[in-house]
A = this chain, B = another copy of it.
Amino acid sequence: MTVSLGELAVRFGCELRGDPAATVDSVAALSQAGPRAVSFLANPKYVAQLADTRAGAVILDARSAASARVPVLVAANPHATFARVATLLHPDPPLNPGVHPAATVSRSAQVDAGSEVAAGAFVGDDARIGAGCYIGPGSVVERGARIGDGCRLVARVVIGPRVSLGHRCIVQPGAVVGGDGFGYAPEKGTWVKVPQLGSVVVGDDVEIGANTTIDRGALEDTVIEDGVKLDNLIMIAHNCRIGAHSALAACVAIAGSSVLGKRCILGGKVGLTGHITLCDDVVVLGTSFISHSISKPGVYSSALPSEEAGVWRRIVGRIKRLDSMAKRLRNVEKHAGISAAHVDNQDSSED
């Protein structure tokens, strides 16, 4: 698609400094962009990168604009504006509405005539698929599921029985929404399966990453609120609730019945224990483990960066003897006549 800089400026509310009739047809990184490509500079810190770009235009903020030698589109939020320009110039392939002959759709299912069901897809009894959806190859939409308008199940997705997705959701390949939760009653050294009768309710504008799994609730539903973004290989257990516009990086695992507030950000590989609550705007750094509820917005961590293995082995040895070391320190303090009261105060004031 080809578009003029003037049209981009009008459409996305940017100030154009350059020829409005000049045209572009693609986006690219600053260092790769040729004269037909739009690029962007999200962070004024990297303004030096503008010097060598051959881009047809660069989307940037007012502060950086003066440094550019090519046409610029000045935007309040250059990254978001770039995202929209990229979406305009590189649209998804158009839908090919209808049910592919190699797809299987139950007679009791309702698929909007403007939606595409690709080869090898399966739509079960009483499932309902809204307008403008793409049900990609090999995807499975089980009985009674509800898919809103404009959803895109990329390929080989599973939407379980009675699961509902809002509008404009994107589900990447291999994701499973609505498998059974992990619920068993212990009985004499064995496990009795507890039927998982709840479902999963997914809001609007949610994206679910490749091979991510979201389990259905035991009795009530697992809930993913509007605008949540889930990366790949994430595990959301039964009865969790993920607050609106939260973003979870890859390999996060959240145990059963935990609740995230709105706009939480969890780094890669973060683990949350079950039955806890995070308030709004909690950020957890990658690989950390959250074992207690958090009621104060902020950044949390238990990430442990690596060392050269020999050095680390010595540190681990020290960690394992920390209790002994603390007792030895107390002993030395006593020897020196340093009062326990003083120490305890100091200690408790820092816990």
Contacts and interface: CB of A to CB of B under 8 A. Distances in A.
Contacts of A137: 104, 122, 124, 140
A264 B329 CA distance: 39
A18 B154 CA distance: 53
A332 interface: yes
A71 interface: no
Contacts of A132: none
Contacts of A231: 182, 235, 237
Contact of A289 (B154, B197, B306): B306
Contacts of A84: 192
Contact of A195 (B87, B303, B313, B327): B87
A219 B84 CA distance: 14
Interface stretch (A1-9, A44-52, A109-117, A207-215): A207-215
28 contacts: A83-B184, A83-B195, A90-B195, A104-B137, A122-B137, A136-B140, A156-B156, A170-B180, A172-B180, A176-B232, A182-B249, A182-B250, A184-B229, A211-B213, A249-B255, A250-B255, A269-B289, A286-B289, A287-B289, A289-B304, A298-B308, A298-B309, A302-B306, A304-B304, A305-B316, A307-B320, A328-B333, A328-B346
